[in-house]
Structures are given as structure tokens and as C-alpha cells.
């Protein structure tokens, strides 16, 4: 550490010890303003909630006056009042400054109701909600906690665009039932005025908060934004991204930490890339070097295989083993070369218009699988794909099903209408074996993966399904593996490829690799 860096570190330590860096000061101020704004907003909300208190006061005043009028005037009516007496009493109760209309309901004889309204044009018995009338007329048991059989009930309703308070009660011991009808238009107007005032105040508070937030963003969030952009660039692979650091606050220290982490990451990635490139080059060189002696070995083994019937019976099994292992080694080398092409990004598509049913049939026929495979495919389903790579995929999937599954193996081909990506070619390969263990399913496409550790010398190399997946991906497709759930058992591999891979052929995975006709139909040891 240089002398300047030591002095800077000492200065930052002193400021941190005091507990009062410039960033902390700015954050305290910003949070203080936010808290103030929140308090003002909370006060406004609390004041807004007081509107219910305004309505409650109006309501209590009207209902209290109505109750008193019922006790003073309606209770003085005879048990069987006349129509005129009800009308006069209702007008008296609604007179003065009461501000409400009254309807009185009585009986001139048993079962013969009469009604008196203070203002029939404003309020009649039909304006009283049925629920309120039922509540008013319901007689309750008199108990120690309930002294009266009838009580005063009320509710708020609306007629047209005008809110109203409707209340009602009846005289205990016999007498008329009374209802009041009070307009709350004035209260609503007052509350609307209050709401407008609060809205204006809230808008001004929001404007002020926006200005405060803008000022805070200028001083506090700009470094955070720069750090976020640098992190995004680093995530996109620009490992040489660094931040210009100035200041002594926490964000400055975070930026220094980011720069150190980016520098360390760049070095580690460079080392890993170098090792990976060296390993890839080694595998490719080794594969190429092995092809020459393998070619000679293959020629010799073919001669030995032709002469196998004339050999000594003691030697024939050894010759058969040499022939089998030589072919297996040849397939392994070809698969390794194919894998290195994918890893190097030099694999390319050679597209052609393909009748999918014919292509599947040719793949099965070339490997003498016609008796073991059931094909469900209609002729004339055309797709623009790489025929050689499609053959590789099919050979691996069908061969894997035949080797590790149970007969019969069924191959179904169909076209599905896709979304933005267009139509899809779907090829389903299903066997009737024991299926794939659940712990193996996530790894069936991994390279060199074999489900059974007790079979390391099985014919498969563990590369077949991996190569099939790579060939599907280069088409812009995918392969999925699952177990059958319909009770018949077996595994199901589903290949999905775009019907036209023209848009994929020129992507970043294309290269100048030389295409060959090698048979990559080796089945991965998935089960």
C-alpha cells in the first residue's frame, strides 16, 4: 500500500469512528424529510377519517331530536288516532329547524293502518327500506339488560344522487310508529369541499416529495446507479469494467470493493479460459491423432472378422473382443471430436427440406431396427432441418430406448402449432421398460453419465444423449425426458425442433467445421 493510500485509509477510519460520514449525513437528511412527509400525510389521512364524525354528529342530533319529538308529541296521541291527528302531529314534529320529514303510522281500527306524512311530496312510507321497517317493528324481550321492547333504528341510504338518513321507532305500550327522513346533502357538500382541500394539500405534498426525491437521487443515488451499471456490464462479460472512486463514504468503499472483486474475477476467468482452451485443444488433438491408428486397426479388425470362422476356436473369442472394442473405441473418438466441435462453437447446420417420416424410417432401417420399432408418422410432413444431425438425434434416442428400455419402442411424429417461434416438429420416443429412476432424470443428458456405477464397462460411453441434446440445441430445439404416468411404464423422450431452422443456421454457434457422415448412433448409458 502506498503512502497516499495509507493516508486515505486513515482518514476514512477517523470519519467512520466519528460515525458521521458525508453519505450518512445526506441519508439522515433525506430520511428526515421522508419522515416529515409521511407525518404530514398521516395527519391528512386522520383528518379525512374525521368525516365520519361529521356525519355521526349530524345523525345523532337528528335522531335525538326525533326521539324527543316522539316522546313529547306522538306519545300524546290516542291509541286509535285519526288521519288528521297523525297528519297534524307529523307536521308539528317536522316543523321548526328540525330539517327532516316525518311519517307517522297508526291504526284507526284493528288491522286498518293510517299514515300521516309531514310532506308527502318528499317522504312517504314507501321510502322507508323494508329492512328498517322490520327492525323497528320487531319486539324484543325485556330483560335486565334491555329495558324496552322497541328501539330506535337508523340507516344511511341514497335516493338518486342525494344521501339521506332514515330512522324509525315506535311508541312503547301502544301508539304510532314514526319515521324520519333527513337529507345529508349539506354534509356531503361540506365533506366534498374538505376532500378537495385535502387533495390539493396532498398534491402539493407529492410535488414537494418529488423535488426532495430528485435532490436525494442527485446526491445519493447517482453512485448507486453507476455501481449498478458496472455490475450489469460485469454480468454481460465485460470483465475489465472498473469504477472511478472518489470520496470517503460507504458507497466509495463499496466501489473499491467492487473494483477489487472485478479484478480478481477477471484473473480467475482468464485462468479458467486458458485451462479450458488447453483441455479442449488436448482432446481435439488427441482425437485427431487417434484416428490414424484407429483407421489401421479398423481395417485389420475387418479382415480378422471376415476370417473369424476359419480361426482356431481358442482364438476366435479374442478376435471378436478385439473387433468389438475397436469399433467401440472408434465410436468414442468420433463422439469426442463431435463434442469438441460443440465446445469450440464450430458446429454448423447444413439445412435441407426433409420428409420427416422418410428420415425416421431411413434411420431405423439403416440400423436394422424395423422389427423392434413401431412408427407412427404421416408422410408429407416437411421440415427444413439438418438431416445428418436429425439422424444422430434419432439414432441416440431410439438406440437408448432399445438398449435400456423394453419392447416395443414406439416413435410418434407430429406437428404442433407454436407461438411466436412458428410450428414445431415433435418426435416422441417411448419404450416399455422399467423407466428412469427419479434421481437419474436430471442427469440423463450429462456427458459421461451412467446411471449404474456397477456397469462402467457397458457398451455406451455416456455421450450419446449429450450429443443428441447438443444437436437439438443447435437447431434451436430441446429434448425432455420423463417417465410414463399412464400405468404402462417406460420412459418417454420428447424432441422438439422448429419446423424451419433457417433462422438458427446463421447464429453465433455456426462455424467452418467440415461435415461428415459418421454414425453417431451410440446410445448413452442412461439407465
Q: Are residues 500 and 377 in the same domain?
A: yes
305 within domain boundaries = yes
Mean pLDDT over 315-333 rounds to 74
Supply 208's cell numbers. Answer: 414537494
At residue 508 the predicted structure's pLDDT band, cuts being 50, 70 and 90, is: very low
Q: Are residues 117 and 43 in the same domain?
A: no
* Confidence (pLDDT) at 54: 80
Asked if the model's pLDDT at residue 515 lies above 60, the reply is no
- How many angstroms separate the CA atoms of 280 and 278, rounded? 5
- Name the percent of the chain lying above pLDDT 90: 13
Q: Are residues 500 and 374 in the same domain?
A: yes
Predicted confidence (pLDDT) per residue in 93-131, tens digit? 888 778 899 999 888 877 788 998 888 888 988 889 999
At residue 470 the predicted structure's pLDDT band, cuts being 50, 70 and 90, is: confident
* Confidence (pLDDT) at 279: 64
Predicted confidence (pLDDT) per residue in 256-310, tens digit? 888 888 888 888 888 887 777 776 676 666 666 666 676 777 777 777 777 767 7
By DSSP bridging, strand 409-416 and strand 382-385 are: unpaired
251 within domain boundaries = no
- Please provide the DSSP assignment of 320-369 as one string: HHHHHHHHHHHHHHHHHHHHHHHHHT------EEEEHHHHHHHHHHHTT-
Q: What is the pTM (predicted TM-score) of this model?
A: 0.44
- How many angstroms separate the CA atoms of 107 and 113, rounded? 4
List the CATH number of the domain containing 175: 3.30.450
| 3-class DSSP assignment, residue 180 | strand
Predicted confidence (pLDDT) per residue in 412-438, tens digit? 999 988 655 578 899 999 998 888 888
Asked if the model's pLDDT at residue 19 lies above 60, the reply is no
User: Residue 418, Cβ neighbours under 10 Å: how many?
Assistant: 12
71 within domain boundaries = no
List the CATH number of the domain containing 397: 3.30.565.10
Supply 225's cell numbers. Answer: 446507479
- Please provide the DSSP assignment of 48-73 as one string: HHTHHHHHHHHHHHHHHHHHHHHHHT
Averaged pLDDT score across all residues of the chain: 78
Mean pLDDT over 136-159 rounds to 87
* Confidence (pLDDT) at 397: 92
Q: Are residues 329 and 319 in the same domain?
A: yes
Q: Are residues 338 and 369 in the same domain?
A: no
At residue 479 the predicted structure's pLDDT band, cuts being 50, 70 and 90, is: very high
List the CATH number of the domain containing 302: 1.10.287.130
Q: Are residues 374 and 495 in the same domain?
A: yes
Q: Are residues 311 and 291 in the same domain?
A: yes
Which residues touch 336 (CB under 8 Å, ≥6 apart)? Answer: 283, 286, 287, 463
Q: Are residues 17 and 117 in the same domain?
A: no
Residue 382 has φ and ψ, to the nearest 5°, of: -95, 145
Dihedral, CA of residue 414, residue 416, residue 422 and residue 427, to nearest 10? -40
Domain that holds residue 11: 3-49+191-235
Sign (positive/negative) of CA torsion 63, 67, 68, 69?
Answer: positive
519 within domain boundaries = no
List the alpha helices (DSSP H) in 50-169.
Answer: 51-72, 83-94, 130-137
- How many angstroms separate the CA atoms of 365 and 360, rounded? 9
523 within domain boundaries = no
**Cis, bond preceding 408 (omega within 30 deg of 0):** yes
Last residue of a domain, one of 157, 183, 209: 183
Tally of domains in the chain: 4
Q: Are residues 170 and 276 in the same domain?
A: no
Of the listed ranges 170-174, 253-257, 420-424, the one predicted with least confidence: 420-424
105 within domain boundaries = yes
Mean pLDDT over 23-35 rounds to 63
Residues facing 415 on adjacent strands: 425
Q: Are residues 324 and 395 in the same domain?
A: no
At residue 20 the predicted structure's pLDDT band, cuts being 50, 70 and 90, is: very low
Query: Within the chain, what is the greatest distance between any pair of CA atoms?
Result: 137
* Confidence (pLDDT) at 511: 37
Q: Are residues 203 and 174 in the same domain?
A: no
Asked if the model's pLDDT at residue 344 lies above 70, the reply is no
At residue 456 the predicted structure's pLDDT band, cuts being 50, 70 and 90, is: very low
241 within domain boundaries = no
* Confidence (pLDDT) at 321: 77
Cβ contact 485:364 at 8 Å: no
- How many angstroms separate the CA atoms of 509 and 457, rounded? 33
- Angle separating helix axes 83-94 and 51-72, nearest 10 degrees: 140
* Confidence (pLDDT) at 31: 64
511 within domain boundaries = no
* Confidence (pLDDT) at 274: 77
Task: Identify which has the larger pLDDT, 388 or 6.
Answer: 388
Last residue of a domain, one of 283, 315, 344: 344
Q: Are residues 307 and 390 in the same domain?
A: no
Cβ contact 45:202 at 8 Å: no
Grid coordinates 458446429 are at which residue? 347
- How many angstroms separate the CA atoms of 150 and 268, rounded? 87
Of the listed ranges 5-9, 76-80, 271-275, 470-474, the one predicted with least confidence: 5-9
Give the length of the chain. 527
Supply 335's cell numbers. Answer: 463422439
Closest Cα partner for 166 from 178, 154, 150, 151?
Answer: 154
Predicted confidence (pLDDT) per residue in 63-102, tens digit? 999 988 888 888 888 888 888 888 898 888 888 778 899 9
Last residue of a domain, one of 165, 183, 201: 183
Asked if the model's pLDDT at residue 356 lies above 60, the reply is yes
Supply 151's cell numbers. Answer: 328501539
Per-residue exposure over 70-87, b if at least 16 CB sit within 10 Å of its own CB, e if not: beebbeebeeebeeebbb
Amino acid at each position: 500500500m502506498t503512502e497516499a493510500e495509507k493516508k486515505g485509509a486513515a482518514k476514512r477510519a477517523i470519519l467512520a469512528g466519528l460515525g458521521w460520514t458525508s453519505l450518512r449525513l445526506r441519508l439522515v437528511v433525506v430520511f428526515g424529510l421522508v419522515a416529515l412527509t409521511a407525518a404530514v400525510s398521516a395527519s391528512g389521512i386522520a383528518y379525512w377519517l374525521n368525516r365520519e364524525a361529521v356525519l355521526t354528529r349530524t345523525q345523532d342530533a337528528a335522531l335525538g331530536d326525533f326521539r324527543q319529538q316522539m316522546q313529547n308529541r306522538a306519545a300524546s296521541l290516542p291509541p286509535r288516532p285519526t288521519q288528521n291527528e297523525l297528519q297534524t302531529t307529523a307536521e308539528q314534529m317536522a316543523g321548526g329547524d328540525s330539517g327532516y320529514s316525518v311519517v307517522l303510522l297508526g291504526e284507526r281500527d284493528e288491522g286498518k293502518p293510517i299514515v300521516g306524512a309531514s310532506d308527502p311530496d318528499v317522504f312517504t312510507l314507501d321510502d322507508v327500506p323494508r329492512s328498517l321497517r322490520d327492525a323497528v317493528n320487531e319486539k324484543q324481550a325485556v330483560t335486565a339488560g334491555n329495558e324496552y321492547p322497541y328501539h330506535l333504528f337508523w340507516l344511511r341510504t341514497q335516493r338518486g344522487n342525494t344521501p339521506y338518513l332514515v330512522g324509525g321507532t315506535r311508541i312503547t305500550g301502544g301508539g304510532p310508529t314514526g319515521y324520519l327522513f333527513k337529507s345529508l346533502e349539506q354534509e356531503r357538500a361540506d365533506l366534498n369541499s374538505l376532500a378537495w382541500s385535502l387533495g390539493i394539500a396532498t398534491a402539493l405534498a407529492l410535488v414537494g416529495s418529488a423535488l426532495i426525491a430528485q435532490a436525494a437521487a442527485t446526491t445519493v443515488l447517482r453512485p448507486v446507479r453507476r455501481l449498478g451499471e458496472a455490475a450489469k456490464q460485469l454480468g454481460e462479460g465485460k470483465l475489465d469494467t472498473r469504477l472511478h472512486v472518489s470520496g470517503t463514504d460507504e458507497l466509495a468503499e463499496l466501489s473499491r470493493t467492487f473494483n477489487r472483486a472485478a479484478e480478481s474475477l477477471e484473473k480467475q476467468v482468464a485462468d479458467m479460459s486458458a485451462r479450458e482452451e488447453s483441455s479442449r485443444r488436448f482432446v481435439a488433438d488427441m482425437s485427431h491423432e487417434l484416428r490414424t491408428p484407429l483407421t489401421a486397426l479398423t481395417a485389420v479388425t475387418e479382415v480378422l472378422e471376415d476370417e473369424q470362422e476359419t480361426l482356431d476356436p481358442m482364438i476366435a473369442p479374442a478376435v471378436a473382443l478385439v473387433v468389438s472394442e475397436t469399433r467401440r473405441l472408434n465410436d468414442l473418438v468420433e463422439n469426442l471430436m463431435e463434442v469438441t466441435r460443440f465446445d469450440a462453437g464450430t458446429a454448423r447446420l447444413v439445412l435441407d427440406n426433409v420428409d420427416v417420416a422418410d428420415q425416421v424410417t431411413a434411420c431405423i432401417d439403416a440400423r436394422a431396427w424395423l422389427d423392434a420399432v413401431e412408427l407412427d408418422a404421416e408422410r408429407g410432413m416437411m421440415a427444413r432441418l439438418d438431416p445428418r444431425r436429425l439422424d444422430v438425434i434419432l439414432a441416440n434416442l431410439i438406440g437408448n430406448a432399445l438398449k435400456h428400455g423394453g419392447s416395443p419402442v414406439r416413435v410418434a411424429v407430429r406437428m404442433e402449432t407454436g407461438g411466436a417461434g412458428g410450428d414445431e416438429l415433435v418426435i416422441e420416443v417411448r419404450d416399455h421398460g422399467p423407466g428412469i429412476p427419479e434421481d437419474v432424470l436430471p442427469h440423463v443428458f450429462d456427458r459421461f453419465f451412467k446411471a449404474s456405477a456397477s456397469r462402467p464397462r457397458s457398451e455406451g460411453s455416456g455421450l450419446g444423449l449429450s450429443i443428441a441434446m447438443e444437436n437439438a440445441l443447435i437447431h434451436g430445439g430441446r429434448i425432455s425426458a420423463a417417465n410414463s404416468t399412464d400405468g404402462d411404464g417406460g420412459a418417454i423422450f420428447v424432441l422438439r425442433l422448429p419446423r424451419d431452422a433457417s433462422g438458427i443456421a446463421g447464429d453465433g454457434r455456426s462455424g467452418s467445421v467440415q461435415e461428415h457422415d459418421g454414425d453417431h448412433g451410440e446410445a448413452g448409458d442412461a439407465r
